[in-house]
Structure 1
Amino acid sequence: MKYRDLNPSTRTIMTPGPVEAEPRVLRAMATPILGQFDPEFTYIMNETMEMIRDLFQTQNHWAFPIDGTSRAGLEAVLGSMIEPGDSVFIPIYGRFGHLLTEIAVRYGAEVYNIETDWGTVFDPQDVIREIDRVRPKIVAMVHGETSTGCMQPLKAIGRACRERDILFVVDAVATVGGVEVKADEWMIDAVIGGTQKCLSVPSGMAPITFNSRVEKLLLQRKKIEQGLVEHGAKRVEQTRMIRSNYFDLSQLMDYWGPAQLNHHTEATSMLYALREGLRIVLEEGLSQRFERHQLNATALVKGIQAMGLTLYGNPACKLPVVTCISVPEGIDGESVRSMLLNDFDIEIASSFGPLKGKIWRIGTMGYSCRKKNVLHVLGALEAVLLRHGAEIEVGKAVQAALDVY
Structure 2
Amino acid sequence: MSADAFNPPSRLLMGPGPINADPRVLRAMSAPLIGQFDPAMTACMNDTQALYRRVFETANEATLLIDGTSRAGIEAVLVSLIEPGDRVLVPSFGRFGQLLREIAERAGGEVHVIEAEWGEVFTPERIEAAIREVRPKLLALVQGDTSTTMCQPLADIGAICRAHDVLFYSDATASLAGNPLPVDEWQLDAVTAGLQKCLAGPSGSAPTTLSKRAVDCIRGRAHVEAGLQGATHAAGGGSRIRSNYFDLAMILDYWGEARLNHHTEATSMLYAARECARLLVEEGMPQAVARHALHGRALVEGVRALGLQPFGDQRHRMHNVVGVYIPEGVDGEALRRTLLEDYAIEIGTSFGPLHGRIWRIGTMGYNARRDTVMTTLAALEQTLHQAGVRPVAGSGVGAAREVYADQQDRTGES
Q: Same fold (TM over 0.5)?
A: yes
Q: What is the letter of the counterpart of residue 3 of structure 1?
A: A
Q: Which residue number in structure 2 is paired with residue 275 of structure 1?
A: 274
Separation in 1 of the partners of 2:236 and 2:245? 26
Q: What is the letter of the counterpart of residue 108 of structure 1?
A: G
Separation in 2 of the partners of 1:313 and 1:189? 29
Q: Which residue number in structure 1 is paired with residue 326 of structure 2?
A: 327
**Can you list the C-alpha shifts for 1:86-135, whole angstroms capped at 9, x where unaligned?**
00000000000000000000010000011011001011111111111111
Separation in 2 of the partners of 1:224 and 1:272? 29
Q: CA deviation at 1:352?
A: 0.6
**Can you list the C-alpha shifts for 1:306-327, whole angstroms capped at 9, x where unaligned?**
1111111011111111111000
Q: Which residue number in structure 2 is paired with residue 168 of structure 1?
A: 168
Q: CA deviation at 1:374?
A: 0.2
Q: What is the letter of the counterpart of residue 340 of structure 2?
A: L
Q: Which residue number in structure 1 is paired with residue 61 of structure 2?
A: 61
Q: Which residue number in structure 2 is paired with residue 20 of structure 1?
A: 20
Q: Which runs of 5+ in 2 are unaligned?
A: 226-231, 405-414
Q: Which residue number in structure 2 is paired with residue 129 of structure 1?
A: 129
Aligned-partner SS, 2:89: strand
Q: CA deviation at 1:229?
A: 5.7
Q: Which residue number in structure 2 is paired with residue 209 of structure 1?
A: 209
Aligned-partner SS, 1:88: strand
Written as runs of structure 1 = structure 2, the 5 A alignment for 1:2-401 is: 2-222=2-222, 239-240=239-240, 243-401=242-400
- Whether the aligned pair in 1 keeps the contact of 2:57 and 2:182 (CA below 8 Å) is yes
Separation in 2 of the partners of 1:223 and 1:205? 23
Aligned-partner SS, 1:221: coil
Separation in 1 of the partners of 2:369 and 2:4? 33
Separation in 2 of the partners of 1:96 and 1:364? 20
**Can you list the C-alpha shifts for 1:147-173, whole angstroms capped at 9, x where unaligned?**
001011112111100111110000011
The 1:8–1:99 alpha-carbon spacing in structure 2 relative to 1, beyond 3 Å, is same
**Can you list the C-alpha shifts for 1:282-301, whole angstroms capped at 9, x where unaligned?**
11111111111111011111
Separation in 2 of the partners of 1:388 and 1:355? 21
The 1:302–1:3 alpha-carbon spacing in structure 2 relative to 1, beyond 3 Å, is same
- The number of residues matched between the two structures is 398
Q: CA deviation at 1:3?
A: 2.2
Q: What is the letter of the counterpart of residue 126 of structure 1?
A: R
- Whether the aligned pair in 2 keeps the contact of 1:305 and 1:397 (CA below 8 Å) is yes
Q: What is the letter of the counterpart of residue 58 of structure 1?
A: T
Q: What is the letter of the counterpart of residue 369 of structure 1?
A: A
**Can you list the C-alpha shifts for 1:218-250, whole angstroms capped at 9, x where unaligned?**
11103699556686xxxx7xx44x610000000
Separation in 2 of the partners of 1:219 and 1:2? 49
- Whether the aligned pair in 1 keeps the contact of 2:220 and 2:236 (CA below 8 Å) is no
TM-score, L = length of structure 2? 0.94
- Whether the aligned pair in 2 keeps the contact of 1:322 and 1:361 (CA below 8 Å) is yes
Separation in 2 of the partners of 1:147 and 1:105? 21
**Can you list the C-alpha shifts for 1:323-359, whole angstroms capped at 9, x where unaligned?**
1100000100000000000000000001111111110
The 1:216–1:5 alpha-carbon spacing in structure 2 relative to 1, beyond 3 Å, is same
Separation in 2 of the partners of 1:65 and 1:98? 24
- Whether the aligned pair in 2 keeps the contact of 1:64 and 1:208 (CA below 8 Å) is yes
Separation in 1 of the partners of 2:315 and 2:201? 29
- Whether the aligned pair in 2 keeps the contact of 1:195 and 1:205 (CA below 8 Å) is yes
- Whether the aligned pair in 2 keeps the contact of 1:148 and 1:324 (CA below 8 Å) is yes
Aligned-partner SS, 1:19: coil
Separation in 2 of the partners of 1:350 and 1:375? 20
- Whether the aligned pair in 2 keeps the contact of 1:222 and 1:250 (CA below 8 Å) is no
Q: What is the letter of the counterpart of residue 316 of structure 2?
A: C
Q: CA deviation at 1:395?
A: 2.1
Separation in 2 of the partners of 1:91 and 1:290? 25
The 1:20–1:220 alpha-carbon spacing in structure 2 relative to 1, beyond 3 Å, is same
Separation in 1 of the partners of 2:233 and 2:302? 62
The 1:223–1:107 alpha-carbon spacing in structure 2 relative to 1, beyond 3 Å, is closer
**Can you list the C-alpha shifts for 1:171-215, whole angstroms capped at 9, x where unaligned?**
011111211111111110000111111111110000000011011
The 1:223–1:118 alpha-carbon spacing in structure 2 relative to 1, beyond 3 Å, is closer
Amino-acid identity (%): 51
Separation in 1 of the partners of 2:40 and 2:235? 39
Q: Which residue number in structure 1 is paired with residue 228 of structure 2?
A: none
- Whether the aligned pair in 1 keeps the contact of 2:222 and 2:236 (CA below 8 Å) is no
Aligned-partner SS, 2:383: helix
Q: What is the letter of the counterpart of residue 296 of structure 1?
A: H
Separation in 2 of the partners of 1:3 and 1:298? 45
Separation in 1 of the partners of 2:308 and 2:292? 21
Q: CA deviation at 1:2?
A: 4.0
- Whether the aligned pair in 1 keeps the contact of 2:189 and 2:211 (CA below 8 Å) is yes
Q: What is the letter of the counterpart of residue 41 of structure 2?
A: F
Separation in 1 of the partners of 2:137 and 2:290? 36
Q: Which moved more, 1:217-226 or 1:25-34?
A: 217-226
Separation in 2 of the partners of 1:149 and 1:97? 13
